[in-house]
Amino acid sequence: MATQLPPPKRQKSNYAKSLEKPVAPEPAAPIPSIVVQFKSAEDGANLGPAINLPADTARDALQMLVNKLRGETEDPLPYAFHLVPKTPSTSTAPQSARLQINNSIQSDALNAKDSTFSPEDVFELWCEPQAVFRVRSVGRCSATLTGHSSPILCCAHSPTGKYAATGSGDANARIWDMETETPKWTLSGHKGWVLCVEWDSREKILATGGHDGQVRLWTPQTGQPYGQPLLGHTKWITSLAFEPLHLVSSSSPSPRLASASKDGTVRIWNTSTRKLEFVLTGHAASVNVVRWGGENVIYTGSSDRTVKVWSGVDGKLIRTLNEHAHWVNTMALSTDFVLKTGPFDHIGKVPKDDDEAKSLALARYKNVIATNPETLITGSDDHTLFLWPDQASASFSTTATPKKPIARLTGHQKQVNHVAFSPDGRMIASAGFDNAVKIWEGRTGKFIASLRGHVAAVYRVAWSADSRMLVSASKDTTLKLWNLKTYKIRIDLPGHTDEVYCVDFVADKVVSGGRDKTVKM
Amino acid sequence: MEEHRKRHGRRMDYEERKRKRTAREAHKASADAQKIFGHKAKLHHAKRHAEKVQMKKTLKAHDERNVKQKDDGAVQEGALPAYLLDREGQKDAKALSTAVKDRRKDRAAKYSVPLPKVRGIAEEEMFKVIKTGKHKGKSWKRMVNKATFVGEGFTRKPVKLERFIRPMGLRMTKANVTHPELKTTFQLPILGVKKNPQSPLYTSLGVLTKGTILEVNVSELGMVTTGGKVVWSKYAQITNNPENDGCINSVLLV
């Protein structure tokens, strides 16, 4: 007899299934109750007494609590929270300086894989207020603009965000309208590559520096040159910096311009008369970068391994900082963003005249300075960065030692190419030739995280205006937008066909230019 | 004079004489210039120098007119942003192959030094035979003829048993070390001799010849490792002959 298949089992019908009692869900693990002490990240003060909370309090609830404790229920500020993990004595692995709380303390700290927290600790939650406005995330390339016939070497966005200017190797600079994504003006006149471009904080003058050693001024509204080129440098211009708006004296209505060059000098020009005011000599090698600080102090970093601090009033050398072991490549001030955008902030109010613009700029500057004084960070070819204390007010404080750096930021394995402070001055991003972007704490210089993802040298970084997003441009032709909560890539922006040399973040657009001669927005 | 010329004309051989006179002028001027002396000579030579300078300028201008000039309006190729100028860029096609070669070299653990080969030094040049004994018959002692490095806390062996003598006059403690990228030179104390390419005997004696690898104290340069620790010693290779110059010039091996 052939083997017979066993008779099919009787299947339960759907109706029968529905009659079964539903299985009761497993009882959730009991949520511990923890003691939380809110601390303000600016000064470390306690915001109110320690509070008993269930551990799964969501971030929004925590935010509301902090706002209530500070008494700011009318204008609630968004907050970012983080915990500082204790380093256990037996662990040898380096701990990151902070543990971000994104969802709730239970999910991020207690249930995390290698957490060192237990529900019985008193959690000290550090709160950092974030910008009230939020910049929309960049998603895709909305426009590819051609026009330059040579690699694009530098780009800068105007203080209002309406225009972007790019300089290229074909000796032209172009101004593009950001809202309509069309080219506006072509500024020709340089005899060599246009190496750097800078806007003044009132958006009335554009300055470009070239490989021929000339600095030219232009009016962006008409696209015409603003007078004769400023001659005087014997080698190419490496960097330009405008005087901050709140320091402009009423006698000379236009801000002064500082230009640094490979010949080792920095020249300060009066832009309205186009005359040379004074020359800062003293560096023994090329001056790579110049910055004009908010206290009328000029910082210069050079290839002779020193950083010199000069007075903006008369050009006298205040002090020399020589701690670096190789060329000083790049510099950033914690007040960079505020000085660059001057009177314009996220509200978008247009000042009526020069005086109002000046007072608005001064108010914004004082706002930022009140919490933390202006600090300087310098990055160098010796793979490290130095964070320097406030140089200008050192004469008033007796205990300050302005020549000694606050911290030395090590960790990069190759030269550091670009460093940038976040607009709120809280974080520092540094890009290096070792394919990594590193994030450090802005006030103390402690290492926070390393963003890896690029496969070739990272050339530039740029922060969004609300300090929530970071975009980096690299030799591997991509731009990457980073998520600062998880320290991983948020969005990859490919599309350039050759190295990306410069990037800038405007309102909610990213402008980038590179060796493929196109500008992408 | 002009009136006489109008009336009577010139001599018959006037043109001939004029031609010959102008032909002789160069020789006459040269003979005069060599024979005159005193105040007259000074004035003449100063005038002649000024003329010579002018002549050179006009000649140069003529030369330039003939040569085709590069168009000044054209800008150079290969535009680079300011932070990449002064750095040697690698051509993309070769980047991969050089990277692979570098990795292979690292794995083979070959050290590339600035001076890979050095001249061999004979023993007669290196050592001088010292004759000892009552009748100066024994010749087993040798004195080193080149610069040497003995460490701190060096004490000689008992003199009767010492085979190699390192004279105090030839002992050196500091080296002038050049950083190859910064192109600056520092005077750094020597910590020790790592390897003398001539022979391991010279390495153990501490002899400093061209091509020797030294260990130098670089704490004053301020270099730091990625972990934040201060680098305090590095290798350097000697590039001159210290016994001839009296100083040690070397290149830092970064």
Q: Which domains are delineated in chain A?
A: 31-86+95-127 (3.10.20.90), 142-518 (2.130.10.10)
Least confident span in A96-105, A418-427, A472-481, A501-510: A96-105
Q: What is the mean pLDDT of chain A?
A: 81
Give the pLDDT confidence score for residue B28 in this predicted structure.
95
**What does each C-alpha distance from A502 to A62, A149, A242, A473, B192 come to in angstroms?**
39, 16, 20, 7, 47
CATH number of B121-250: 2.40.10.310
Give B79's contacts in chain A (Cβ within 8 Å): 150-151, 153, 168-170, 193
**What does each C-alpha distance from A97 to A439, B16, B144 come to in angstroms?**
11, 105, 58
The yes-or-no verdict on residue A254 having pLDDT over 60 is yes
More confidently predicted of A98 and B194:
B194
> How far is B102 from A434, CA to CA, in rounded Å?
16
Least confident span in A124-133, A230-239, A475-484, B229-238: A124-133
**Contact A143/A520 with Cβ under 8 angstroms?**
yes
> How far is B220 from A126, CA to CA, in rounded Å?
40
Query: What dihedral angle (degrees, nearest 10) is formed by the CA atoms of A449, A451, A456, A459?
Result: -80
**What does each C-alpha distance from B2 to A119, A311, B7, B21 come to in angstroms?**
128, 78, 9, 21
**What does each C-alpha distance from A477 to A156, A357, A489 come to in angstroms?**
19, 39, 16
Longest CA pairwise span in chain B (Å): 118
What is the per-residue burial (b if ≥16 Cβ within 10 Å, else e) of B72-99? eeebeeebbbbbbbeeeeeeeeeeeeee
Q: Which amino acid is at A20?
A: E
Contacts of A338 (CB under 8 A, 6+ apart): A294, A364, A365, A368, A423
The yes-or-no verdict on residue A375 having pLDDT over 80 is yes
DSSP A407: E
Give the pLDDT confidence score for residue B95 in this predicted structure.
60
Residue of A nearest to B226 (CA): A411
CA of residue A83 relative to chain centroid, distance: 23
Least confident span in A411-415, B29-33, B94-98, B164-168: B94-98
Mean pLDDT over residues B77-101, rounded?
70
Least confident span in A343-352, A374-383, A433-442: A343-352
Give the pLDDT confidence score for residue A97 in this predicted structure.
55
Give the pLDDT confidence score for residue B68 in this predicted structure.
64
Residue of A nearest to B182 (CA): A326
**Contact A430/A412 with Cβ under 8 angstroms?**
yes
A153:B75 CB<8 A: no
**Minimum distance, in Å, between the CA of residue A94 and any CA atom of chain B:** 11
Give the pLDDT confidence score for residue A95 in this predicted structure.
43
The yes-or-no verdict on residue B143 having pLDDT over 70 is yes
The yes-or-no verdict on residue A397 having pLDDT over 60 is no
| Among the listed residues A478, A481, A474, A483, the one whose alpha carbon sits nearest the alpha carbon of residue A495 | A478
Longest CA pairwise span in chain A (Å): 116
Q: Which helix (H) or strand (E) holds A520?
A: strand A519-520
Give the pLDDT confidence score for residue A93 in this predicted structure.
39
In percent, how much of chain B has pLDDT > 90?
63
Give the pLDDT confidence score for residue B172 in this predicted structure.
93
Name the one residue in this structure whose structure tokens are 């007078």: A227
Inform me whether the C-beta atom of residue A150 falls under 8 Å from chain B C-beta atoms: yes
More confidently predicted of B116 and A283:
A283
ipTM: 0.72
Q: What is the mean pLDDT of chain B?
A: 87
**Minimum distance, in Å, between the CA of residue A384 and any CA atom of chain B:** 8
- The pair of three-digit structure tokens given for residue B33, joined into one six-digit string: 């210039």
**Contact A227/A184 with Cβ under 8 angstroms?**
no
- Phi then psi for A447, rounded to 5 degrees? -75, 135
| Among the listed residues A268, A263, A277, A219, the one whose alpha carbon sits nearest the alpha carbon of residue A240 | A268
Least confident span in A58-62, A107-111, A226-230, B189-193: A107-111
- The pair of three-digit structure tokens given for residue A466, joined into one six-digit string: 């609300």
Mean pLDDT over residues A18-22, rounded?
69
Mean pLDDT over residues B126-140, rounded?
93
Name the one residue in this structure whose structure tokens are 């003044």: A200
In percent, how much of chain A has pLDDT > 70?
84
Give the pLDDT confidence score for residue B108 in this predicted structure.
60
Three-state SS for A483? strand
Three-state SS for A265? coil
Nearest-by-Cβ selection for B81 from A195, A262, A384:
A195
Least confident span in A398-412, B22-36, B181-195: A398-412
Inform me whether the C-beta atom of residue A260 falls under 8 Å from chain B C-beta atoms: no
More confidently predicted of B74 and A67:
A67
**Minimum distance, in Å, between the CA of residue A411 and any CA atom of chain B:** 4
The yes-or-no verdict on residue A83 having pLDDT over 80 is no
- Would strands B174-178 and B249-252 be described as parallel, antiparallel, or unpaired? parallel
**What does each C-alpha distance from A449 to A206, A374, A396, B183, B186 come to in angstroms?**
36, 23, 35, 35, 36
**CA-based R_g, chain A, Å:** 27
More confidently predicted of A56 and A146:
A146
Give the pLDDT confidence score for residue B146 in this predicted structure.
95
Contacts of A516 (CB under 8 A, 6+ apart): A151, A477, A496, A497, A498
**Minimum distance, in Å, between the CA of residue B130 and any CA atom of chain A:** 48
Name the one residue in this structure whose structure tokens are 């204390």: A389
Mean pLDDT over residues A25-52, rounded?
73
Give the pLDDT confidence score for residue B73 in this predicted structure.
52
Chain A / chain B CB contacts < 8 angstroms: 78
The yes-or-no verdict on residue A71 having pLDDT over 80 is no
Q: Which helix (H) or strand (E) holds B48?
A: helix B39-66
Inform me whether the C-beta atom of residue A378 falls under 8 Å from chain B C-beta atoms: no
Give the pLDDT confidence score for residue A92 in this predicted structure.
37
The yes-or-no verdict on residue A303 having pLDDT over 70 is yes
Mutate to test the interface with A, among B71, B72, B83, B221 (most CBs of A within 10 A): B83
The yes-or-no verdict on residue B93 having pLDDT over 60 is no
> How far is A83 from B116, CA to CA, in rounded Å?
55
B82:A153 CB<8 A: yes
More confidently predicted of B108 and B200:
B200
Mean pLDDT over residues B90-103, rounded?
62
Give the pLDDT confidence score for residue A46 in this predicted structure.
75
The yes-or-no verdict on residue B211 having pLDDT over 70 is yes
Give the pLDDT confidence score for residue A50 in this predicted structure.
77
**Contact A223/A187 with Cβ under 8 angstroms?**
yes
Inform me whether the C-beta atom of residue A232 falls under 8 Å from chain B C-beta atoms: no
**Minimum distance, in Å, between the CA of residue A70 and any CA atom of chain B:** 39
What confidence tier does A76 reach under pLDDT thresholds 50, 70, 90?
low
CA of residue B190 relative to chain centroid, distance: 24
Nearest-by-Cβ selection for B82 from A196, A327, A384:
A196
Least confident span in A108-117, A146-155, A184-193: A108-117
CB atoms inside a 10 Å sphere around CB B245:
10
Name the one residue in this structure whose structure tokens are 């971000």: A100
Give the pLDDT confidence score for residue A23 in this predicted structure.
66
**Contact A126/A83 with Cβ under 8 angstroms?**
yes
The yes-or-no verdict on residue A242 having pLDDT over 70 is yes
Mean pLDDT over residues A354-382, rounded?
83
Give the pLDDT confidence score for residue A94 in this predicted structure.
40
| Among the listed residues A490, A426, A430, A492, the one whose alpha carbon sits nearest the alpha carbon of residue A460 | A430
- The pair of three-digit structure tokens given for residue A122, joined into one six-digit string: 């008193």
Give the pLDDT confidence score for residue B110 in this predicted structure.
55
**What does each C-alpha distance from A362 to A11, A423, B5 come to in angstroms?**
80, 16, 93
**Contact A135/A465 with Cβ under 8 angstroms?**
yes
pTM, rounded to two decimals: 0.66
